[in-house]
């Protein structure tokens, strides 16, 4: 029998507030993904530390975490640089994400109800408004929220945790595609929602697969239009 005092503990993700390293990592990660820091951009521990008003150690730790994810290359005695976009890494991320989200859609179709459907419908409306306003950062955030909220409503929060930790290399390419692909993304979200409303798990999984697999077309187009950003 569990100890009574343990029953009300918050989830582990909520126990520890973000450290200085976490905050620096999150900001730099976002800037790499949204191409504010483009491939080849140089980063300086000293400059980032001065910007945040902190010592160099938390910056060094954040750099190390980013390098482990393949987003920056730390070169001793030389400038640290943002890495080119790796199509191989993007496709590995797609493989992981597609497998997890397709399985989640099958469960979500059976458990989501009218309140969930209406919430997702409103999210797509907000995405369309962000697209019309050419607010790509908001569009991207709402896109993530759509997928996150389906996982959460299906009781599969852990799926989104795994997806979030693996999808960054996809996101760099997808962010570049928003100038021409946002309308298509919204339409595909509506296809997913339609299948969820119909409680058709296989159709929802297929719609998610089609939506996520668009990364292949995005990579092909970007390699033709912006070859310099790839490894």
CATH number of the domain that 72 lies in? 1.10.10.10
* Residue at a domain's end among 25, 53, 82: 82
Q: Are 134 and 195 within one domain?
A: yes
pTM of the model: 0.86
Inter-residue contact 32 to 167 (CB < 8 Å): no
User: Residue 16's pLDDT is what?
Assistant: 64
Q: For 230, which DSSP code? A: B
Structural domain harbouring 175: 87-229
Inter-residue contact 41 to 82 (CB < 8 Å): yes
Inter-residue contact 186 to 126 (CB < 8 Å): no
User: Residue 211's pLDDT is what?
Assistant: 97
Q: Are 66 and 124 within one domain?
A: no
User: Residue 4's pLDDT is what?
Assistant: 40
Mean pLDDT (10-residue bins), the chain, 231 residues: 41 65 94 93 93 93 95 89 95 96 98 98 98 95 97 97 93 92 96 98 98 96 92 78
Is residue 115 one of the residues assigned to a domain? yes
Is residue 5 one of the residues assigned to a domain? no
Q: Are 140 and 94 within one domain?
A: yes
**Number of domains present in the structure of the chain:** 2
């Amino acid at each position: 029998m569990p100890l009574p005092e343990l029953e009300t503990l918050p989830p582990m993700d909520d126990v520890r507030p973000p450290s200085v390293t976490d905050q620096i990592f999150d900001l730099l990660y976002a800037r790499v993904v949204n191409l504010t820091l483009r491939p080849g951009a140089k980063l300086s521990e000293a400059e980032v530390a001065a910007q945040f008003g902190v010592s160099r150690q938390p910056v060094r730790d954040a750099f190390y975490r980013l390098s482990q994810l393949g987003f920056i290359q730390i070169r001793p005695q030389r400038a640290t640089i943002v890495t080119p976009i790796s199509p191989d890494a993007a496709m590995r991320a797609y493989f992981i994400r597609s497998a997890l989200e397709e399985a989640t859609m099958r469960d979500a179709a059976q458990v989501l109800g009218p309140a969930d459907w209406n919430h997702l419908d409103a999210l797509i409306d907000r995405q369309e408004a962000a697209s019309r306003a050419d607010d790509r950062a908001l569009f991207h955030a709402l896109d993530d929220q759509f997928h996150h909220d389906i996982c959460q409503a299906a009781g599969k929060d852990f799926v989104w945790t795994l997806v979030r930790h693996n999808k960054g290399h996809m996101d760099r390419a997808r962010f570049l595609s928003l100038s021409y692909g946002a309308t298509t993304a919204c339409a595909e979200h509506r296809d997913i929602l339609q299948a969820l409303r119909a409680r058709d798990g296989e159709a929802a999984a297929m719609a998610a697969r089609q939506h996520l697999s668009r990364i292949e077309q995005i990579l092909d187009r970007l390699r033709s239009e912006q070859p310099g950003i790839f490894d």
